[in-house]
Amino acid sequence: MGESGWLGRCRSRQRRNHQFIRAREESVSATMNSLLHKRRGLFISLAAFFLASCDLLPQDRTPTLTVTLQQQQLALHFEGSNVLLFGASKPHDMSQARAVAKARIRLKRPFDWIQLPKAADCQLRSVNVEGLPNTSYHMHPDGAPAHQHQQPQPRFSQEAVVTKGTWRFSCQQPAALYRNSWTVHLFDYLPRLTQLAVDWQDGETLLTPSQRKWTPSQ
């Protein structure tokens, strides 16, 4: 009886140990599955983030001209990647440097690059242009660049790769803006610009060098 009782207690203890071990194994398995699921979810989230980030790279976006009109106040806002506008985020030769210098002048004179309806009688109120590459050259007598001076810019700074401009006008006859077409000549001063999305309240209109006219809907 003593041995039988001892064996019974031993077997009972073994069953409890087995049950404990099985419970621990199930707990560990559940924990591992949870971690794997979270890791998988994290991986998917990171993948989605990087894919979205790639979609938002400035060089992947069509340059945009956003137009807003509030009563007599007209505002134009432009944004475009320097790679799409000049072929590089920083000029590498005299041709690109001249293109940047020409664009810098023209962008500060909006009536050089956009033809608004004369009947609207719009007067320029303010100009703000930023993000153009800041590069100057010293020239040899034969016209070749001696060396280049360039202000340091953060490699991943948005200002180093994106040109932005905002122009504000006051229009005495804003209704005329709807009845007549506008002509955009940015293509003449931004050498690599092939498409321009004009963003207006009813959506976007895509302009090209051969199709520069646009009439806003009321």
Give the rounded percent of residues in the chain with a pLDDT score beyond 90: 44
What number of other Cβ atoms are within 10 A of residue 43's Cβ? Answer: 10
DSSP 208: B
Token pair for residue 139? Answer: 């020239």
As a whole-number percent, the residues of the chain with pLDDT over 70 amount to: 60
pLDDT in tens, 172-199: 999 999 989 999 999 999 989 999 999 9
Cβ neighbours of 97 (radius 10 Å): 19
Q: CA-to-CA distance for 114 and 77, rounded, in angstroms?
A: 12
Task: Name residue 68's beta-bridge partners.
Answer: 75
Predicted local confidence at residue 95, as pLDDT: 83
Residue reference for tokens 């207690």: 9
Claim: this prediction has a pTM higher than 0.75:
no
pLDDT digit string, tens, across residues 138-164: 433 443 444 444 444 433 333 458 999
